[in-house]
Amino acid sequence: MRLFILGSAAGGGFPQWNCLCHVCRLHWSGDPRVTARSQSSIAATADGVHWLLLNASPDLRAQIMASPPLMPSCGADDAARRASPIAAVLVTNGDVDHVAGLLTLREKQAFDLYGTEGVLGVIADNPVYSVMDPACVTTRPVQMEQPFEPVPGLTVEIFPVPGKVPLYLERGEIDVGAEGDMTVGVRLSAGGRTAFYVPGCAFVPEHLAARVAGADVLLFDGTVFVDDEMQRAGVGAKTGRRMGHMPMTGEGGSIDAFDGRDVGDRVYIHINNTNPVLIEGSDERRAVEAAGWRVAHDGMEIVP
């Protein structure tokens, strides 16, 4: 199995187009300690030929341009005029950073689109997504904990994680932390190796910590370093938890939640532009590394 981090930042990317928070400021002023990151997506393959895209980011076109394994291969077939290594897409929720890239995949390219009934329903209800021609794109709802093989040799299973509906569907009282079919985590396995991909998670219940035990790789929600980071940065009123994203640190943070669990490679993904772990050499970066975590960057490749 090979995993390719296409976009390691949260919604908005790093830097965010309009942001002057402390971390974005470093980027705008050319500070070499920070590196731009695009929005949340990874790709996975078992055979090195057929790739599963996990989430389709608004930055997908640029991500493909930066990723040779995902480019159409000229050597493949002289007669081919439409041929992408991306054979399937799985969306883990309906957030803009995870579904807007589906619009990039509209050019008469055959692929399978996987997700829960709920998330695929949100996509189907939005007429702009009808640009994905049903003659080319097969929508395949998947059930929780029912393994499927979207690309040859790669076994995939989804499971509910605490989350919420997409921001644009929030009305009235929001049940943040609900375990339903609007936010899922993904288990990937091939050749006896196992990786988990959980880009959004409001907290870690015991059953989730138990589920990842024994994994070779855990790619996990690294949106914020502390829960009230957006407030402290002066860019928003919401806490990480209110957005459906648990913090790395503090009580009930992800470092604590997985501490002492049998997980090989721990990697933070979906990192918000306000998160100081984006700064090489910062105290916060050093703290997560000392706790056994890596901070993903675009173009990072992981072979579990």
Give yes or no for residue 167 binding ligand MLT (CB under 6 A). yes
Options 7-15, 79-87, 148-156, 277-285: segment touching Mn ion (CB under 5 A): 7-15
249 binds, among ligand MLT, Zn ion, Mn ion, none (CB under 5 to 8 A by kind): none
Give yes or no for residue 222 binding ligand MLT (CB under 6 A). no
CB of 9 to ligand MLT, least distance (A): 10
Give yes or no for residue 116 binding Zn ion (CB under 5 A). no
The strand order across the sheet containing 148-151 reads: 148-151, 154-160, 184-190, 193-198, 215-221, 263-269, 293-295
Tell me whether residue 160 or residue 200 sits nearer to Mn ion (CB atom): 200
How are beta strands 111-115 and 263-269 bridged, if at all?
Answer: unpaired
Options 46-54, 90-98, 145-153, 254-262: segment touching Mn ion (CB under 5 A): 90-98
Tell me whether residue 189 or residue 274 sits nearer to ligand MLT (CB atom): 274
Residues, the chain: 304
Unique residue bearing structure tokens 């070779």: 216
- Between CA 122 and CA 113 the distance in angstroms is 13
Give yes or no for residue 96 binding ligand MLT (CB under 6 A). yes
Q: Which amino acid, residue 247?
A: P
Is 282 strand, coil or helix? coil
167 binds, among ligand MLT, Zn ion, Mn ion, none (CB under 5 to 8 A by kind): ligand MLT
CB of 39 to ligand MLT, least distance (A): 8
Q: Which amino acid, residue 278?
A: L
CB 189 within 8 A of CB 158: no
- Between CA 293 and CA 202 the distance in angstroms is 19
Tell me whether residue 56 or residue 243 sits nearer to ligand MLT (CB atom): 243
CA nearest neighbour of 278 among 14, 19, 49: 14
24 binds, among ligand MLT, Zn ion, Mn ion, none (CB under 5 to 8 A by kind): Zn ion
- Which residues lie below 8 Å from residue 230, measured CB to CB, with a gap of 6+? 224, 236, 237, 238, 239, 240, 272, 274
96 binds, among Mn ion, Zn ion, ligand MLT, none (CB under 5 to 8 A by kind): ligand MLT
Interaction residues for Zn ion, span 245-274 (CB under 5 A) = 273
Interaction residues for ligand MLT, span 182-221 (CB under 6 A) = 200
CB of 67 to Zn ion, least distance (A): 25
- Between CA 270 and CA 240 the distance in angstroms is 12
Give yes or no for residue 11 binding Mn ion (CB under 5 A). yes
CB 72 within 8 A of CB 83: yes
Q: Which amino acid, residue 3?
A: L
Among 1, 5, 6, 10, binds ligand MLT (CB under 6 A): 10
Site residues (vs ligand MLT, CB under 6 A)? 10-11, 95-97, 167, 200, 243-244
Site residues (vs Zn ion, CB under 5 A)? 19, 21, 24, 273
